[in-house]
Structure 1
Amino acid sequence: MSDTRQQRRRRQAVALAYRDGDEAPRVLAKGYGELAERIISAARESGLQVHDSPELVALLMQLDLDERIPPELYQVIAELLIWVRDLERDSPSY
């Protein structure tokens, strides 16, 4: 894979969040290029897990800000939540 293609893939980001009463996560932020880098940086600085899944990001980028993820993505988001839980469980407590 060319460096240019890898850079484009890494330079998009979507942040999801639950709000009180939500049935599913909503798109909190999304962006390309510098904005994507800032979203990723802010997530890491806040201690949030960052998952690199270009296919999922491409699907989520189609959603509007504050839009709930569609039921078709529930399974993959559930798998990501399990991944995050496992990472947090296996990491040392501070």
Structure 2
Amino acid sequence: MKRPDPREAAVALAYRAGQSAPQVVAKGRGLVAESIIRKARDHGVYVHESAELVSLLMQVDLDQRIPPQLYQAVAELLAWLYKLEAGAALPLPYKALPSPSESTGRTDALLLDKRGTLPNKPPDR
């Protein structure tokens, strides 16, 4: 069994309609990161790899909203995710942040800094 790399990190974000900014709902390194990733995949949450963004988001306290300096980067990722979920494949980055899905009012994304191959599309639901 492969041992987790303690440098691997994962940050989970959630955004609900009406919130001023996405919120860090989980983060960790090593075994904690692997657990976050596994739970995300088990629940059909989109997983995106971005070492630079994860490094910045790891500095945000748990349950806190992301800082204004990260709005544009996270907005581009979420906008791309909304389009992907709607079936419109657009290359990243996409510059506008549309409203969250009407059905749930919530969008979750997991950003991670992890070596290895990761899915680059949401799992089939």
Q: Is the 8 A contact 2:6 2:30 kept in 1?
A: no
* 1:45, distance to aligned residue in structure 2 (A): 1.0
SS of residue in 2 equivalent to 1:69: coil
* 1:18, distance to aligned residue in structure 2 (A): 2.5
* 1:77, distance to aligned residue in structure 2 (A): 0.7
* 1:20, distance to aligned residue in structure 2 (A): 6.5
Give the one of 67, 71, 75 matched to 2:72: 75
In structure 2, stretches of 5+ residues that fail to align are 88-121
Q: Supply the distance in 1 between the matched residues of 2:21 and 2:14 (Cα, whole angstroms).
A: 9
Q: Spell out, residue by residue over 1:21-41, the C-alpha distance to the aligned partner (whole angstroms, 9 max, x if none).
A: 521111101000011011111
User: Who is 1:66 aligned against?
Assistant: 63
Superposition pairs of residues 33-52 of structure 1, within 5 angstroms: 33-52=30-49
Residues 1:14 and 2:11 are matched in the alignment: yes
In structure 1, stretches of 5+ residues that fail to align are 1-6
Residues 1:54 and 2:58 are matched in the alignment: no
Identity of aligned residues (%): 57
Residue correspondences, number:
87
Give the one of 21, 26, 29 matched to 1:29: 26
Q: Supply the distance in 1 between the matched residues of 2:64 and 2:21 (Cα, whole angstroms).
A: 10
Q: Which runs of 4+ in 1 moved over 6 A?
A: none
Q: Is the 8 A contact 1:9 1:54 kept in 2?
A: no
* 1:67, distance to aligned residue in structure 2 (A): 1.1
Higher RCO structure (Cα 8 Å, ≥6 apart): 2
TM-score by length of 2: 0.61
